[in-house]
Chains A and B, each alone.
Chain A
Amino acid sequence: MSTQPQEYQAPVWNEPVIMEMGYPGRRGVVFSDVGPDIESRVGPVADLVPAGVRRRQPPALPELSEPEVLYHYLRLSQQTLGMMGVSLFGTCTMKYNPQVNEELAWRPEVTEVHPHQHEDTMQGTLEIVHNADLVLREMSGMDQFVFQAGGGAEAAFTNCAVVRAYHASRGELEQRDEIITTIQTHPCNAATAAAAGFKVITLMLDENGYPSLDALKAAVSDRTAGLMVGNPDDMGVYNPEMKEWVRIVHEAGGLCFYDSANFNGTMSKIRPREIGFDACMFMLHKTFGAPKSGVGGPAVGAYGCSAEVAPFLPAPLVVQDGERYHLDYDRPQSSGKIREFFGNVPVVLKAYAWVRSMGAEQIAQASDLSVLGNNYMEKGLLAIRGITRSHPDATSPRMEMTRYSVQTMKEETGVDVHDVLNRMSDFGVDPAWTSHEPWLVPEPFTPESGEMYGKEALDLWVAVMQRISDEAYSDPQIVKTAPHHQAIHRLRPGVIDDPDTRAMTWRAFRRKTGR
């Protein structure tokens, strides 16, 4: 580990909020007149709007020329670290978003197609969606995928809707009102189950890092609608008893959903269906190489299930009939829609393109590399003073992530995890992911090396942590006052939550500050 981290300086543009910019009368876009024929035929605009609902005051938007707007947002993009250095954001599987996939997804055959076009005019789109379905079936063992969910959480919600429809079809929905999950399964599973109307039973971990079989057995009953679980979990811990879990839940009459958010380390190694799961979900914007877009989408949670569950999927499904492809809306047992139309087609295309670029061998290698990279980093990180990992006594290697803690560092130096994260960015490294709530491990951080980065980048990341630890133990103020080289300093504690100061819009900000 001879890598010496170099300090980085973010662009400091002091860019004003756009609401403060501009000059009255400037225009960023104009529209050609309707012309005299239309004007004389339909009359003035004012006469076409009922008087009571006409806008009286123009919206107080800025008035700017086109380049002023463009360069404002380009400067803002420069003030976003955004993986320009190294970003190992755990549970998000940062990986390369191939430029060719972006280029293909921005062709007019994708961007300028309307979802209500006749299927004769979008056979290409439907073929790509179907092809994506086929490769995901092969990777999961499932029988049918649907792409309607605009993200992983929405795919979890899809599962809840499908589970409702499944039990309703058997007349058991009123009785089966409980969903079982685990504390280290992504929060969206518990949240969507609750929003779908289920009672949520959350199993806690035992000393091995996953809940015990006894805890599961105590939770299942004739009220069990289903299980929603990630494996490996958000700490890179794989539950080896999962086959037995599935058997127990099935025996109780529930359906089993595998949240494959953390699939990167297990792809090619396992198939969720072969373990017994009825349904699973893949993040096309993580595992399959499409951008996460600021952990915000547009994204796709591809939801796949067994033939037994497929009748309950939200319509439409893309189906092949000989040489042609159709959107199948005729699905009488369908759960109802999760989102309008049939999915974020550009993201589906990018995922399919990623699979075709990789092929089976390289997909297997990607999972190898992500687990190799994580264990390689673990060796380096655990040698750093003040850093420990969760479940230190569990001897088997972690999968593609490891949950660490700087609790020791905090106790010995006063430097907490947010201090560390802020200091990381001074070296051009994106702050690491901490942990979902609740923090079972105090002062947590969770890197995920993925398969994109080379050994040098992983070494740099570890070296940055080493440097920060050295600083924490020698001159902690450097870390506690970080960042020193970012576009802005840290926010004043509390200002964004205090009702007197928090402001989600410029107009709220102006009112609260009297500006």
Chain B
Amino acid sequence: MRGRTAHPYMANSVPAIQQEMLDSIGVDSIDELFSQIPADHRSTRPLDLPPALSEAELKRHLVGILSKNRTCEQNLSFLGAGAWQHHVPAACDEVVRRNEFLTSVFGEPSSDHGRNQAWFEFSSQLGELVDLELVGLPVRSWGSAAGHAMRMAARLTGRHEVAVVRAIDPERLSVIRSYCEPAEMAGHIAVRLIDYDPATGLVDLDDLRAAVGQQTAAVYFETPSYLGIIEHQGAEIAAIARAAGAETVVGVDPISLGVLASPVHVGADIVVGTIQPLGVHLHTGGGVGGFIASRDEDRYAHQYPTLLLSIGETLQEGEYGFGLSLFEQSSYGLRDKGNDWTGHSVYMWAIAATTYMAMMGPRGFEEIGGQILQRAHYAAQLLSEVEGVSVTFPQGFFKEFVVNFDETGRSVDAVNEALRDVAIFGGKDLSEDFPELGQSALYCVTEIHTQSDIERLVEAIRKVVT
């Protein structure tokens, strides 16, 4: 019997209890209970792991390693590009760390009632932001949401090509391609990239018209786009898609929806996007999450790969509960015949997001959207006054914008290295993924950036480039 000292995580790690249980079963040793594992399956040697640590040692060990990090609290960060630094109210963190939520399971609607209600409130509030009645439980990322939406559109139309804007996060595009399957597969969905107008960053409508046809299952664009641009040609894009019989799928950042209209009003059929800005920290990338929303029509409802949670009356009149709806169409219900697949996602971030949306309310979203717009434009205007620095698309953006350093003779990499020395994280380097933009970086400014933060950035860049 191993483990002379009981381990704090295991109540039965006391030899006498184990003996009681063995006596009850009627076997002599625990090893006998493993008799179904053949000898030639057994490990060839015992586990060789670093020594076990007490809680105090463990904390010291990990805090020591973590101290090698530099954070976006200690530094002034202008990184966005898929994970964005917004203020997270402390109440969101308190709610999202509740053990009852963290350690819950899929029991019965009655035993999971509070958590289910929180999830329903997530979908309900997000539904108000996007003006749609059908919102699934979250998927693992924006890219995952977009990938699933492409597959939904392919099933809805029976077609196997999607038109996707080229001004897209390369990480997200890579995920979409994984979902659309390589060309060798029978179910392959071809991804056709649509140019953006080099002057405005908007979708190139001529290119879109040329690309979209009877083969097109979906047209996918984003607003704001990866390059930060508010796509205001949504109605034209949706009309082109509709004329070809294709679905219009639009990606959004919901934190913009207090000032920007939901793309539903210009003809979006499926809306996807991120939920990370809604009360979730960066978590080194672990904060990402995505959503899928549409009109509440059978045509769409039956294609959702996500879990769906419906409100419903209980056996007691006037009392309501929440349960999984259309479960049988999921991969849990139908295995390989279900819609794509589902599984662990980022459901705790749905709880953070519902708390956030409830605290924000309509005025909060309006205010934050306005603040972001003004602060970001202030930063862009000041930066464009620095000698050799320009803002590639100076109008019509939300919180991110492209800053070009070509005329300074310096690379983004060199600028960012110098900025790190003064505790600033410069924007995401675009020069590899978007070579046509030259030495450019994607800067992100949100409500957390004060006037003095912005001016500090501008002065630091001025010093670096002159």
Which B residues are in CB contact (< 8 Å) with A337?
143, 171, 174-175, 178
Q: How many B residues touch A, CB cutoff 8 Å? A: 217
Which B residues are in CB contact (< 8 Å) with A218?
none
Complex Cα–Cα for A293 and B393 (A) = 42
Does chain A have a CB within 8 A of B409? no
Contact of A191 (CB < 8 Å), options: B94, B336, B348: B336
Is A61 a contact of B69 with CB atoms below 8 Å? no
Is A128 a contact of B37 with CB atoms below 8 Å? no
Is A120 a contact of B420 with CB atoms below 8 Å? yes
Contact of B62 (CB < 8 Å), options: A56, A195, A196, A349: A349
Nearest CB of chain A from residue B390's CB, rounded to whole Å = 17
Does chain A have a CB within 8 A of B199? no
Is A297 a contact of B100 with CB atoms below 8 Å? no
| Interface 1/0 per residue, B133-159 and A, CB below 8 Å | 111110011111000000100000000
Is B33 a contact of A375 with CB atoms below 8 Å? yes
Tally of A-B residue pairs with Cβ under 8 A? 752
Does chain B have a CB within 8 A of A441? no
Complex Cα–Cα for A480 and B276 (A) = 42
Does chain A have a CB within 8 A of B97? yes
A194 and chain B: residue at smallest CB distance = B336
In B428-442, which residues have CB < 8 Å from any A CB? 428
Is B43 a contact of A507 with CB atoms below 8 Å? no
| Interface 1/0 per residue, B402-418 and A, CB below 8 Å | 00000000000000110
Does chain B have a CB within 8 A of A83? yes
Contact of B282 (CB < 8 Å), options: A113, A289, A301, A360: A113
Contact of B344 (CB < 8 Å), options: A77, A242, A295, A373: A295
Q: A238-B36, A296-B346, A508-B296 are in contact. Are A496 and B324 (CB under 8 A)?
A: yes
* Most chain B CB within a 10 A radius of its CB, from A89, A379, A491, A507: A491
| Interface 1/0 per residue, B7-48 and A, CB below 8 Å | 101111100011011101111001011111110111110111
Is A17 a contact of B320 with CB atoms below 8 Å? yes
In B169-221, which residues have CB < 8 Å from any A CB? 169, 171-172, 174-175, 177-179, 181-182, 184-188
Which A residues are in CB contact (< 8 Å) with B151?
195
| Interface 1/0 per residue, B265-296 and A, CB below 8 Å | 01000000000000001111110110000001
A485 and chain B: residue at smallest CB distance = B110
* Most chain B CB within a 10 A radius of its CB, from A64, A152, A365: A365
Is B49 a contact of A359 with CB atoms below 8 Å? yes
Contact of A297 (CB < 8 Å), options: B261, B333, B348: B348
Is A396 a contact of B258 with CB atoms below 8 Å? no
Is B63 a contact of A104 with CB atoms below 8 Å? yes
The interface size bin for chain A is 35 or more
Contact of B9 (CB < 8 Å), options: A31, A117, A358: A358
Does chain B have a CB within 8 A of A122? yes
Does chain B have a CB within 8 A of A127? yes
* Most chain A CB within a 10 A radius of its CB, from B66, B105, B309, B313: B105
Which A residues are in CB contact (< 8 Å) with B124?
17-19, 505-507
Which A residues are in CB contact (< 8 Å) with B91?
28, 66, 69-70
Complex Cα–Cα for A173 and B187 (A) = 13
In B306-352, which residues have CB < 8 Å from any A CB? 308-316, 319-326, 328, 331-338, 340-351
Contact of B101 (CB < 8 Å), options: A80, A422, A457, A511: A80
B378 and chain A: residue at smallest CB distance = A38
Complex Cα–Cα for A66 and B405 (A) = 44
Is B260 a contact of A151 with CB atoms below 8 Å? no
Is B127 a contact of A49 with CB atoms below 8 Å? no
Complex Cα–Cα for A121 and B420 (A) = 9
* Most chain A CB within a 10 A radius of its CB, from B100, B281, B343: B343
B43 and chain A: residue at smallest CB distance = A271
Nearest CB of chain B from residue A94's CB, rounded to whole Å = 7
Is B104 a contact of A82 with CB atoms below 8 Å? yes
Is A269 a contact of B34 with CB atoms below 8 Å? yes
Is A138 a contact of B20 with CB atoms below 8 Å? no
Is A200 a contact of B67 with CB atoms below 8 Å? no
In B115-132, which residues have CB < 8 Å from any A CB? 115, 117-118, 120-121, 123-129, 131-132
Q: A73-B351, A270-B43, A505-B127 are in contact. Are A356 and B50 (CB under 8 A)?
A: yes
Which A residues are in CB contact (< 8 Å) with B77?
114, 117
Nearest CB of chain B from residue A497's CB, rounded to whole Å = 6
Which A residues are in CB contact (< 8 Å) with B53?
356-357, 359
Is B377 a contact of A150 with CB atoms below 8 Å? no
Q: A152-B344, A297-B345, A490-B315 are in contact. Are A28 and B364 (CB under 8 A)?
A: yes
Complex Cα–Cα for A135 and B38 (A) = 25
Does chain B have a CB within 8 A of A407? no
Is B52 a contact of A357 with CB atoms below 8 Å? yes
Which B residues are in CB contact (< 8 Å) with A157?
178, 341
Which B residues are in CB contact (< 8 Å) with A76?
114-115, 117-118
Complex Cα–Cα for A118 and B441 (A) = 14
Q: A53-B234, A58-B362 are in contact. Are A114 and B425 (CB under 8 A)?
A: yes
Nearest CB of chain A from residue B388's CB, rounded to whole Å = 21
- Of B239-247, B368-376, B457-465, the segment with at least 4 beta carbons within 8 Å of chain A is B368-376
Contact of A430 (CB < 8 Å), options: B12, B107, B169: B107
Is B47 a contact of A139 with CB atoms below 8 Å? yes
Nearest CB of chain A from residue B309's CB, rounded to whole Å = 6
Complex Cα–Cα for A192 and B343 (A) = 10
Q: A45-B370, A116-B79, A372-B21 are in contact. Are A138 and B282 (CB under 8 A)?
A: no
| Interface 1/0 per residue, A126-137 and B, CB below 8 Å | 011001000100
Which A residues are in CB contact (< 8 Å) with B20?
455
Nearest CB of chain B from residue A402's CB, rounded to whole Å = 12
Nearest CB of chain B from residue A129's CB, rounded to whole Å = 9
Which A residues are in CB contact (< 8 Å) with B7?
358, 362, 365
* Most chain A CB within a 10 A radius of its CB, from B11, B127, B344, B369: B344
Is A368 a contact of B115 with CB atoms below 8 Å? no
Which A residues are in CB contact (< 8 Å) with B9?
95-96, 98, 289, 357-358, 451-452
Q: A55-B257, A150-B344 are in contact. Are A433 and B105 (CB under 8 A)?
A: yes
Is A345 a contact of B285 with CB atoms below 8 Å? yes
Q: A197-B187, A511-B133 are in contact. Are A359 and B178 (CB under 8 A)?
A: no
Nearest CB of chain A from residue B128's CB, rounded to whole Å = 4
Would you mind naming 23 contact pairs between A and B with Cβ atoms under 8 Å apart? A17-B124, A49-B373, A61-B358, A62-B125, A66-B91, A80-B104, A82-B100, A95-B9, A108-B73, A114-B285, A138-B49, A139-B47, A150-B140, A340-B83, A340-B141, A358-B7, A363-B47, A372-B12, A375-B25, A430-B107, A451-B13, A495-B310, A502-B325
Known: A371-B33, A492-B315; 6 extra A-B contacts, CB below 8 A, are A42-B377, A58-B365, A80-B114, A108-B73, A341-B288, A342-B285
Nearest 8 A-B pairs (CB), nearest first?
A153-B343, A296-B347, A359-B52, A151-B344, A28-B359, A454-B11, A341-B285, A197-B185
